[in-house]
Structure 1
Amino acid sequence: MTDELKRTKELARKYETAFNSSYDPMFITDKHGYTLKLNKAYTRVTGITEEELIGKHMQDLIQEGIISDSISLNVLKKKERLTMVQSINGKELLVTGNPIFDENGDILFVVTNLRDVSTLNNLKEELNQTKALANHYLQELEHYHKQQQVIMHEGIIANSDNMVAAIDMAQKIANVNSTVLLLGETGVGKEVIANLIQKLSSRSTKPFIKVNCAAIPKDLLESELFGYEKGAFTGADDKGRPGLFEQAHGGTIFLDEIGEMPLPLQVKLLRVLQEFEVTRIGGGPTIKIDVRVISATNKDLESLVKQGEFREDLYYRLNIIPIKIPPLRERQEDIPLLAHYFLQKVNQKYNLHKQLTDDAFFTMKSYSWPGNIREMQNLIERLVVTAENDFIDSNHFPFTNQPSSECQASRKTMKEILHDIERDMILKAMVKYKTTRKAAKFLGISQSTLVKKMQRLGI
């Protein structure tokens, strides 16, 4: 065997190895359309063996139903590279035929490579799902940031579970038109939550009318809410006047202190909520309105219903979505955050640099705050503008040196009082959170510290 022949065989062996090493299926036809060669990947993907394919003409394979069409025959006809989707042995494949020319420009072979379209389709579907999921998360993130900006703008700060739950509910129902009833003590921030609902709603660019039912004289409240026709009563405007419900058309009306509304007026309000139409004082046609109603009260409306001071049917009409806003004493985790927020605002307002010490925060967390957030806000402003130095500690607070009658009666020492307070706080935390880990987080101490305190206090 000559050296030239050996080199030729070695080269052919290398080409054979490379041909069979390709992950993509490949086969070769001659210039007449007869199959000359196929690699192992072709059999792996299509299930067709060399014995079934070698030496056969492409047209015969089409007639036998093995292939749906022949890329090789199309390439031979058009004398150029072509790509098409082809069914081979029942499997959908993307095939590309490449013509190999001799020195005279005539086709010697057609080399075809295949790609499993089903795999590509699966990858495409997975990619589309990934993109959709990414877009979904992006939208949620943008929505979250949008809500957070509104919350911070509105001055709502919450870390406690009960306040976070109230805010979550407000966000959840913002875009529906259901009537909302905000419940909570004076100063807890009912109007702030109403503002949040309006800001996040589809009515955010529409009118937002706020009415304090307790601040308007009872004999004027009806005309303020529902308006009047000209000449309806002495002193009435000659042109008449639309009421606040009409002015809120398309938007939202916030009825604060709804528990103070007189009984006769409750009947008319109930009709408005049922029919969404108003009639001005002095007659005239009924006027259709599109208004979302948010009401608020610091009273126990159920008790007022039982006492006959509030209409039961109106209560149920207002109470479609109740949101309970917890008092500050039940939001201990939020007290330092709120105090810091108000401190920053006052410092910025008066160009000051006052700070609250650690014992100041402890004092605030130990106080019951009967006036809630409004009381804290006013107190911090007073302390900031009256404190002589930049550090505000427990001695500056008006309630630190005013022991309760209970403490005076018991004549306990400071150590005993602190012992009782500490024990009471730990017991309440354990009852609420069940585990030492959660209770420790609520109390602002480590779990090991809490366990040691419980052992020392005999809990």
Structure 2
Amino acid sequence: MDTSLKDYQRVRQLAIRSLFEIVEQSSAGTIIVDRNANIVWMNERYAQRFGLASAQEAIGKPCESVIPSSLMREVVTTGQPLLLDMLDTSTEPLVVMRLPIRDDAEQIIGAIGFALFGRLKSLAPLLTRYQQMQEELASTRSLLRARQAKYNFANFIGTSAASLEVKRRARRSAGTDSPVLLLGETGTGKELLAHAIHSTSPRAHKAFVSVNTAAIPETLLEAEFFGTAPGAFTGADRKGRAGKLQIAQGGTLFLDEIGDMPLPLQSKLLRVLQEKEFEPVGSNEVISSDIRLIAATSIDLEVAVQRGEFRADLYYRLNVLPIRVPPLRERLEDLPALCEAIFDEFGNHHELAPQALELLSRHAWPGNIRELRNVLERAALLNDEAVLSEEALRTAIGVLHPLTAPASSRHTLPALGDFQQARLQFERQFISAALAEHCGNVDATARQLRMGRSTLYKKMAALGIVS
């Protein structure tokens, strides 16, 4: 036999012997049984723990007759180790480990058991750390549940052409990591769509973090967004504070009313989008960023860029997947379904008389769906009748804002005034109508208008039209 192989076997045998001696000496007790689970050896400490005057008294006895709750027989029967287990005794529980013993032919010939800890207080540091980890895990799961998307596309109610187009675009955007820009008036459901895009995306299992830029004081917005280093400024948390970018790591960050973001912060957001990194306030540490950004605004960002109130480079970076969310007055055919869904949300059994629904279709809804929900809730609270009348809705609406033209009309004359504005409005309506006839097909629309495709694309970009 090769000398090196002999040395290997000798070292292995010595290691096995040393391991056994170390564990046997440091454990609270050791026992060895044969293939029939009869005790063949037991150290004196273990014998005394179970009331024997000498370990010799245990030799040849079934293990259960000495250790009533022993599972050594299970180990020799199954051949499977029980690495960590609790063994109840008359005094106190023990932490034990049981291992099968095999011969050279890999046949089970017995088992060995060690009582690793005789006093559970020896495990106190480990148990304390385990408990801390469990608490941290529970806290993280709780925070993540609180940051989960609350809505999906089923919550965006409507079967009108305008609603279906919005959902089609939003669904397509869900599969990418590109920024999404939601454009529309207040109350049209932009945040609901942001939730739905996240919940359908590959990032759905991660956090959805929402920041209303207009609701946070400008002096606190940077710290809220990027987080702070420990003691970054007077009054700052001494341990530092994670910002929304860190909380949204791996998930989606939704910036509502991004048009109100201060210019200095806009440049830092642009760096996050381009370089995918940021620095907390008061820190030199550069943190990698992995977020999907969805932004929303109720203002015309192109006008804001022209006025110098919004960075053009950030606008172009955000305007990759723009989705215009139409106001309620442009999708009045969705009113019956919206009203039914809102009443279901309230948990009551109200419904609308035909005249009441007709009245709702004559209102311009400056507050959009948020206003509709408010009106229906007020009408339901003020009336005991299950069927709400036209008069009940008129009272709930208060001041009626009549539509200036039928919602289905494609061409509406602008108010007399600036000729350039009137021309742009006509071009926007004309091209939008042509695109609608061809289901958004730019090539077909360009041929109908006898216009080059690149020229049409430029026109669409200038007028804020998306196909």
TM-score, L = length of structure 2: 0.54
Name 1:146's counterpart in structure 2: none
Shift of 1:323: 0.4
Cα offsets for 1:180-202 (capped at 9, x unmatched): 00000000000010011001000
1:284 pairs with 2:280: no
Shift of 1:401: 7.7
Task: Provide the rounded CA distance (Å) in 1 between the counterparts of 2:227 and 2:409.
Answer: 55
Task: Provide the rounded CA distance (Å) in 1 between the counterparts of 2:299 and 2:332.
Answer: 23
Match of 1:372 among 368, 372, 397: 368
Q: 1:258 to 1:385 in 2, by over 3 A?
A: same
Cα offsets for 1:250-284 (capped at 9, x unmatched): 10100001011011111111111111101011122
Shift of 1:388: 3.1
Match of 1:394 among 385, 390, 393: 390
* Secondary structure, aligned partner of 1:246: helix
* Secondary structure, aligned partner of 2:295: strand
| Preserved contact between residue 363 and residue 400 of structure 2 (Cα < 8 Å) | no
Shift of 1:428: 5.2
Shift of 1:151: 2.5
Task: Provide the rounded CA distance (Å) in 1 between the counterparts of 2:278 and 2:295.
Answer: 18
| Preserved contact between residue 183 and residue 324 of structure 2 (Cα < 8 Å) | yes
Shift of 1:429: 9.7
* Secondary structure, aligned partner of 1:366: coil
Match of 2:379 among 373, 380, 383: 383
Name 1:266's counterpart in structure 2: 266
Match of 1:151 among 141, 150, 153: 153
Task: Provide the rounded CA distance (Å) in 2 between the counterparts of 1:306 and 1:341.
Answer: 41
Task: Provide the rounded CA distance (Å) in 2 between the counterparts of 1:380 and 1:334.
Answer: 15
Task: Provide the rounded CA distance (Å) in 2 between the counterparts of 1:401 and 1:211.
Answer: 32
| Matching of residues 293-372 of structure 1 within 5 Å | 293-346=293-346, 348=347, 352-372=348-368
How many residues matched? 266
1:208 pairs with 2:208: yes
Shift of 1:403: 6.6
Name 2:218's counterpart in structure 1: 218
* Secondary structure, aligned partner of 1:266: helix
Q: 1:273 to 1:402 in 2, by over 3 A?
A: closer
Name 2:193's counterpart in structure 1: 193
Task: Provide the rounded CA distance (Å) in 1 between the counterparts of 2:315 and 2:194.
Answer: 18
2:343 maps to amino acid: L
Percent identity over paired residues: 44
Shift of 1:294: 0.3
Moved over 6 A (4+): 429-434
Shift of 1:398: 3.6
* Secondary structure, aligned partner of 1:303: helix
Cα RMSD between the aligned structures?
2.6
Task: Provide the rounded CA distance (Å) in 2 between the counterparts of 1:303 and 1:393.
Answer: 43
1:363 maps to amino acid: L
Task: Provide the rounded CA distance (Å) in 2 between the counterparts of 1:365 and 1:301.
Answer: 30
Higher Rg of the two aligned structures: 1
Task: Provide the rounded CA distance (Å) in 1 between the counterparts of 2:194 and 2:409.
Answer: 34
Cα offsets for 1:53-93 (capped at 9, x unmatched): xxxxxxxxxxxxxxxxxxxxxxxxxxxxxxxxxxxxxxxxx
1:201 maps to amino acid: S
Task: Provide the rounded CA distance (Å) in 1 between the counterparts of 2:152 and 2:261.
Answer: 31
Shift of 1:341: 1.1
1:247 pairs with 2:247: yes
Specify every segment of 5 or more residues in structure 2 that has no aligned partner in the other structure, as ranges. 1-150, 413-428, 438-467
Q: 1:300 to 1:402 in 2, by over 3 A?
A: closer
2:361 maps to amino acid: K
* Secondary structure, aligned partner of 1:211: strand
Specify every segment of 5 or more residues in structure 1 that has no aligned partner in the other structure, as ranges. 1-148, 408-419, 439-459
Name 1:113's counterpart in structure 2: none
1:285 maps to amino acid: E
* Secondary structure, aligned partner of 2:215: coil
Name 2:444's counterpart in structure 1: none
1:170 maps to amino acid: A
Name 2:97's counterpart in structure 1: none
Task: Provide the rounded CA distance (Å) in 1 between the counterparts of 2:303 and 2:188.
Answer: 21
Cα offsets for 1:340-364 (capped at 9, x unmatched): 1112222x1xxx4322100111111
Cα offsets for 1:217-273 (capped at 9, x unmatched): 110000000011112100011111121101111101000010110111111111111
Task: Provide the rounded CA distance (Å) in 2 between the counterparts of 1:401 and 1:285.
Answer: 55
1:289 maps to amino acid: S
* Secondary structure, aligned partner of 1:308: coil
* Secondary structure, aligned partner of 1:329: helix
